[in-house]
Amino acid sequence: MAFHFKLESVRKLRRSTRDEKRVSLGEAVAGESEILRRIDALRSRLGRLKEERRRAPFTLENLRRYDAFEQKLLAEIRAAETELAEARRDVEVRREALVVADREVKTLDRLEEKQREAYLKKRA
C-alpha cells in the first residue's frame, strides 16, 4: 500500500489560495507603480511649467494663469501622493496575506514529509 497524505485536498486548496494572494499582490504592486509613474509625470510637468514661466513675458495675466495651473498641478500631486500612501498600505496588507498563505502551505508540506518518513520507517 502506497503512502497517501490525507490532507492533500486541503494542501491543494491552500496552494490555490496562496496563488490567488500572489496574483492579488502583483496587481497591488502594479497599481502602486502606476501611481508612482503618474506622480513623476505630474512633477515633470510642474518643472516644465516653472521653466516656461521663467521664460514668459512678465504680465499680470501670465502670472495668474501660471499660478492657477501650478496650484492645480500641486493639488493633483498631493491627491496622487495620498492615493500612493493608500496603495502602499494595500500592498503591505496583501504581502502579509501572502506570507500567511505561504506559511500554511509550508506547514502542510512539512507535515506530509514527516508523515511520509514515519510511514517509510514503519514499513522498513
Q: Tell me: the pLDDT tens digits for 63-102?
A: 999 999 999 999 999 999 999 999 999 999 999 999 999 9
Residue 78 sits at φ, ψ, to 5 deg, of -60, -45
Q: DSSP character for 120?
A: H
Residue 1 burial (10 A CB sphere; 0-12, 13-18, 19+): exposed
Looking at residue 39, what is its pLDDT? 98
- pLDDT tens string 37-69: 999 999 999 999 999 999 989 899 999 999 999
Count of other CB atoms within 10 angstroms of residue 21: 19
